[in-house]
Amino acid sequence: MKKIIIAIDGPAGAGKSTIAKKVAAALGYAYIDTGAMYRTVTLCYLRSGKPFSESLVTEEADHLDLSFAYRDGVNRVFLGGEEVTEAIRSLEVSRSVSAVSAVGGVRRAMVALQRRIGAAGGVVMDGRDIGTVVFPQAELKIFLTASVEERARRRCLELQQKGQAVDLEDLKKRIAERDHLDETRAISPLRCAEDAVFLDSTSLSIAEVTSRIIALAERKGACGTNL
């Protein structure tokens, strides 16, 4: 039985988390939400009320008490004993997470944690640098993307369903800015690994993307409890 590492990278709003969860469920693999890790560090920094500094966010990352629990169909995130699943998805956190995740000390702490979690295989991990930095040896690497317009539309719908008032044009601007920050940061910039499968989900359904990735995993010899 072979349990492989599946790395799904791509820009904000491409559907990485949604797809990764479904692929993990189909294979019986563990899903690791790396974006939630950086968002939780960001939440800790914002709650501190202190001015941003690299030393501050690195300290938060080094002492992060983070855990995941899959309950009632939701991958829940806990900071200590507090559930922060919704709190880390706030617009305030979204506006600050790129700056926090670009700090070298934060990335070193999170990469070390991600490697410990996924070392044994049988995981689906999504983020910005999973296939290029965290697990360059991953058996299957996917670079999942979509147009800025489509990613903004999806995010707008998601926030509206949660009762939040949002402006589509503002979301487009923020997503484009986030792309620029992620692609140009000095440490672990967002890029497609040379051996990754490039997958544009702009005109594809969630089911179509999921089935394509599962088929690719099977070709890599993946064996899962739900296959």
In the predicted structure, residue 181 carries a pLDDT above the cut 60:
yes
In the predicted structure, residue 225 carries a pLDDT above the cut 60:
no
In the predicted structure, residue 226 carries a pLDDT above the cut 70:
no
How much is the pLDDT for 33?
Answer: 86
C-alpha to C-alpha distance for 201 and 22, rounded to whole angstroms = 15
How much is the pLDDT for 48?
Answer: 97
Report the percentage of the chain scoring pLDDT > 90. 71
Position 172, amino acid: K
Mean pLDDT calculated for residue range 22-46? 92
Query: How many residues make up the chain in this entry?
Result: 227
Closest by alpha carbon to 61, among 41, 39, 81, 79?
41
Chain centre to alpha carbon of residue 187: 17
Mean pLDDT calculated for residue range 106-122? 91
Phi, psi of 145 (to 5 degrees): -140, 180
What's the predicted TM-score (pTM) here?
0.80
